Amino acid sequence: MTDITLRWGMSTDVGRVRRVNQDAMMGNGRLFAVADGMGGHRGGEVASDIAAGHLIRLESVPSVDALSDAVTRANELILGRAAADPDLSGMGTTIVALADVSTPDSDTIQLAAANVGDSRMYRLENDELEQVTRDHSLVAELARAGQITEAEAATHPQRNVVTRALGAEKNVLVDTWVFPARIGQRFLLCSDGLINEVDDTDVAHVLRTVADPKLATMHLVDMANRHGGRDNVTALIVDVTSDTGADPEAPCETPETES
């Protein structure tokens, strides 16, 4: 196996307006995810916690199909919990995930990504920032159809309306990607509480200039709060490196909530 390794850091915050943090995040060295919950007094935080909690319990994700199946299973778990508790009816969550799907005898690390909703994954490589995922949201679909501009999408009154989410329906469509890991790549997984407050230019600047992944996520979360903090904000960074260091956080972290 190649000596390439993954280093990561993650941060989350309730923001300056919301009382409860409905975001959840997890990372265990081979699998990483950010979920942004929605619905009801407790529903959003329960849905995102179910999704992140299901992924952290997986022993391995050996393929992109296994990653897609894991997201599909999280959808089933959310629907089952909602059916059993009327107070949680209608809850849902977005999810964006990144996994090392390499086998022990692989010569290179293969990464797989999955996405449902409008939480995003970016890749910084050779100083160029690229959005890997495609938002499943009303304004994104309008923009892709040419009905509104990107500038109009950024301030559209329905920009928070998602067209796909875990918990929305029995059959969920999961977008997936597979690509080789290369030393120097940096991936950002984030909730829309970051991207609605901080533009891509500023995100790219932090990713280029703050080397430590945990510190970089703290900078991004702080920037979102300084720009308004109107939503929960979560950032998770994964670096492809030849270093052996890893983020010292616990294998799974979900946000604390306020009552």
Partnered with residue 114 across adjacent β-strands are: 97, 176
Sheet holding 120-125, edge to edge: 5-13, 233-241, 186-190, 120-125, 128-131
Token digits for 98?
């990144």
Q: Is the dihedral of CA 75, 79, 85, 90 positive or negative?
A: positive
User: Would you write out the chain's pLDDT as a tens digit for each of its 259 residues?
Assistant: 567 899 999 999 999 999 999 999 999 999 999 999 998 668 999 999 999 999 999 988 999 999 999 999 999 999 999 999 999 999 999 999 999 999 877 778 899 999 999 999 999 999 999 999 999 876 766 666 676 666 666 666 666 778 999 999 999 999 999 999 999 999 999 999 999 999 999 999 999 999 999 999 999 999 999 999 999 999 999 999 986 554 444 444 444 333 2
Measure the N-to-C terminal CA separation of the chain; round to a whole number of Å.
47
What residues does each domain of the chain span?
5-133+165-247
Which CATH superfamily hosts domain 5-133+165-247? Answer: PPM-type phosphatase domain (3.60.40.10)
Give the contacts of 9 (CB within 8 A, at least 6 positions apart): 212, 213, 214, 215, 216, 217, 236, 237, 247, 249
pTM over 0.85: yes
CA distances for 66 relative to 52, 59, 81, 164, angstroms: 15, 11, 22, 20
